[in-house]
Copies of this chain bind each other. A is one copy, B any other.
Amino acid sequence: MSGNRGLYVGRFQPFHKGHLYAVRIVLEEVDEVIVVIGSSQFSHEVDNPFTCGERIVMVRGALEEASVALSKYFLVPVPDVDNHSVWVAHVKAHTPPFKKVFSNEALTSRLFVEAGYEVNPIPFYERETYSATNVRKRMLSGGDWKTLVPASVAQFIEQIDGVERVVQLYKNDRVN
């Protein structure tokens, strides 16, 4: 039933070209990928500026732009849980059955390995450049963040006045 399905987890704050690259890599290994939008409940925070709904728009737009068929992926928001030791069970309850996990994060990998899953690393795509932290940093410094994300994501962020939000959240964090 879980057929040849893989799981890929990210926070996508925002979704960038490194994420897109990872989705492509995963789809070379499996028939369908479950893209989990992690920490789905957070937004309007320095490290989590975008809402779950905004991230859904970004991921779907970016995959459409990249010609990844809707039939090849599930897009599933999953909120955090307090206790890491139930996180794998929590993810399983939120998602269609899957067999393989794809991750480069030490904690995600550790938790799935302890739960008996096969975890596959994903080769990074110029990690120093293509990271959500770097995208937000460039937004704050007025740098070129648009080349780091798919065109549709850049356009959407501008539509929702996203850079200004990131700047204001950063200011707030400095003061408090």
Contact = CB atoms under 8 A, between A and B. Distances in A.
Given A60-B74, A105-B172, A107-B168, A51 B1 contact: no
A45 B111 CA distance: 11
A6 to B, nearest CB: 15
A61 to B, nearest CB: 10
Contacts of A76: 52-53, 56, 77
Given A41-B83, A85-B44, A95-B56, A106 B168 contact: yes
B169 A110 contact: yes
Nearest to A159: B1
Interface residues of A, number: 49
Contacts of A169: 106-107, 110
Interface string A33-76: 00000001111110000011100110010000000001100101
A137 interface: no
Interface in A9-53: 40-45, 51-53
Given A1-B159, A53-B97, A172-B106, A86 B77 contact: no
A7 to B, nearest CB: 11
A87 B41 CA distance: 12
Contact of A43 (B74, B88, B93): B93
Nearest to A45: B84
Contacts of A151: none
Nearest to A52: B94
A142 B40 CA distance: 37
Contact of A88 (B40, B53, B89, B109): B89
A12 to B, nearest CB: 14
